[in-house]
Each structure stands twice: as structure tokens, then as C-alpha cells.
Amino acid sequence: NAGVTQTPKFRVLKTGQSMTLLCAQDMNHEYMYWYRQDPGMGLRLIHYSVGEGTTAKGEVPDGYNVSRLKKQNFLLGLESAAPSQTSVYFCASGPSGANVLTFGAGSRLTVL
């Protein structure tokens, strides 16, 4: 089992460009989450999904959009990237019957 796979692992963008981060899980998990991790600030929740076709805002949703058209995939989009979105992004998934999350390896995004 691959677990949670994030692509790409690294990306450099210019201010104003758009991009999509892909998260794929092969554990049939209902719940999926996107977090960002910045030095000294811990992981902060951007958006989450409690099932296929559903999405909701987390703590820091501004500037991001998400979609979950298929149960195994959770996409995070940046429509117009800003330097403040330079961060490491983590996707996580969890089953409906337990609270334990499985995280991906992260995607490091730099916005110039």
C-alpha cells in the first residue's frame, strides 16, 4: 500500500500563477485534510472533506480552493499564488471509525 501520495513534491511559482496539488490515498478513507506547516506555527488546517463530493473550510482557507470528485483524491488549488503561500503542504486522510490520521510526505511550495 502506498498510503497517502502527494504530487508534486516541490514547486516554485511566480506571484499570480496558479497551480494544483494532488493528494491520493489508497486506504478507502472517508476523511481527507489539507494542512500547511510553517516554521514556529505548527500545522494549520486549510480545508477538509468528510466524504466524496463534500468540502469545508478550515482555519486558514483564504486563497485556496479544494475539490473531492473521487473518494481517493483531494485536490488543493491556488488560483493566484502569493508569497505568503510559501509553505510545506501536507495532506492527511482518516477512516470514519477512528481518529488517527495518515499523512503524506508533503509538498514544498515556494512563491517568488
Partner 1 sequence: EDQVTQSPEALRLQEGESSSLNCSYTVSGLRGLFWYRQDPGKGPEFLFTLYSAGEEKEKERLKATLTKKESFLHITAPKPEDSATYLCAVQASSSGSARQLTFGSGTQLTVLP
- Phi (first) and psi of residue 83, to 5 degrees: -55, -30
Distance in Å, CB of 103 to partner 1, minimum = 3
Regarding 40 and contact with partner 1 (CB under 8 A), the answer is yes
Cα gap 106→112, rounded to integer Å = 19
Residues 6 or more apart whose Cβ sits within 8 Å of residue 71: 28, 30, 51, 52
Regarding 95 and contact with partner 1 (CB under 8 A), the answer is no
Distance in Å, CB of 83 to partner 1, minimum = 21
* 17: its cell numbers: 500563477
Kindly tell me which residue out of 13, 21, 23, 33 binds partner 1, with binding defined by CB under 8 A.
Answer: 33
Cα gap 77→88, rounded to integer Å = 14
Regarding 74 and contact with partner 1 (CB under 8 A), the answer is no
Site residues for partner 1 per CB under 8 A: 4, 31, 33, 35, 40-45, 48, 50, 56, 58, 90, 92, 94, 99-106
